[in-house]
Structure 1
Amino acid sequence: MIERINLTDAFPAAYRQIRELRDTVEAAAESAGLDPKLLELVKIRASQINGCAFCLDLHIRDARRMGEDDRRLSLLAAWWETDLYTPQERAALALTEAVSKLSQVQDVPDEVYREATAHLTKEQYTAVVWSISVINAFNRLAVTSRKPLPARAPAS
């Protein structure tokens, strides 16, 4: 496999700004009362859709550190088929899929928007959409760069 230019290393000023944007969005999400685990589910689902191994590795690890259940993480790719997710999480996940697949769906369907705004306040909805947008940007940078997974210590 051909080695690619690491876009985050090649343009560190832009990478710093996208990280600052992420921090701003996460602060807004916290201020809006969103559960940080919900945001991790959003990041993981978008990363599944975009095929970003680096971001999946990172956010699944973060979700586990927050106490997220392994079963919910394992079944996230088929979230709509289970009752493991709250109505608010389901609304955020449907929104994640619509926003992450804009090139395919061309819009966020009205029913997805209605469900999201029924379970999220205006501030929460705004923070979720910004979070989806930021993780999609990170996914595109990592996938395009073929960013390698970080080394892990062997299990003991």
Structure 2
Amino acid sequence: MTQRMNIYKAAPEVYKTVLAFSQAAGQGIDEKLKHLVLLRASQINRCAYCIDMHSKDARHAGDSEERIQLVAAFDEAPEFFSEKERAALALTEAVTVLTDGFVPDEVYNRAAEHFEEKELAQLISLIAAINVWNRLNVTVRTPGGHYKPGQW
């Protein structure tokens, strides 16, 4: 696939704004959990650039290969993910997919049991932010495979 454009060079103010939003959204979220959430949403959205980035950043942050490989099946691998992480990943899937047009109460309530209100607000914002990045990158076909850990 050929990259259609470098949207970040074509619209640098959009890039700066989305980056600032992403950085604000990620504040206070555990580093390993943050990368797992970003990776899972990117897998769902089939964003090669972001899958590459967040799997490398997860490794760089000290997460295990098993957890990175199993994040797509987090509920079937409870020995690798805490209940809090599984609740966050379930929320990630629900917010990312929105197949029914809403986030089910049971998914939201599951997350709310493990996160205080401010942290939950940060988590929801982080999920929204990665979905923006994914949609931008997938649309313009930003290629994966070239990211260096900690680059951004």
Per the TM superposition, whether the score is higher than 0.5 is yes
* CA shift for structure 1 position 36: 1.1
**Rounded Cα–Cα distance in structure 1 between residues aligned with 2:31 and 2:147:** 25
Would you say 1:86 and 2:96 are equivalent positions? Answer: no
Change (3 A) 1:3 1:116: closer
**Rounded Cα–Cα distance in structure 1 between residues aligned with 2:6 and 2:142:** 7
Amino acid at match of 1:73: I
- Identity, % of aligned positions: 41
How many pairs are equivalent? 147
* CA shift for structure 1 position 150: 4.9
Secondary structure, counterpart of 1:74 in structure 2: helix
**Rounded Cα–Cα distance in structure 1 between residues aligned with 2:137 and 2:41:** 13
Contact 1:8 1:141 in 2 (8 A): no
Would you say 1:22 and 2:18 are equivalent positions? Answer: no
Aligned to 2:70: 75
Amino acid at match of 1:4: R
Report the structure, 1 or 2, having the larger helix content: 1
* CA shift for structure 1 position 3: 4.3
Would you say 1:5 and 2:5 are equivalent positions? Answer: yes
TM-score (norm 1): 0.89
Contact 2:52 2:147 in 1 (8 A): no
Contact 2:41 2:93 in 1 (8 A): yes
Change (3 A) 1:152 1:37: closer
Deviations 1:9-60 (A, max 9, x none): 2101111111011111122xx2xxx311111110000000000010010011
Secondary structure, counterpart of 2:26 in structure 1: helix
Q: Alignment partner for residue 49 of structure 1, among 30, 44, 48?
A: 44
Would you say 1:142 and 2:137 are equivalent positions? Answer: yes
Structure 2: state its 5+ residue gaps: none
TM-score (norm 2): 0.91
Contact 2:53 2:147 in 1 (8 A): no
* CA shift for structure 1 position 5: 2.2
Contact 1:92 1:116 in 2 (8 A): yes
Contact 2:3 2:142 in 1 (8 A): no
Amino acid at match of 1:22: S
Secondary structure, counterpart of 2:91 in structure 1: helix
Q: Alignment partner for residue 112 of structure 2, among 90, 114, 117?
A: 117
What value does the CA root-mean-square deviation take over the aligned residues? 1.5
Aligned to 2:92: 96
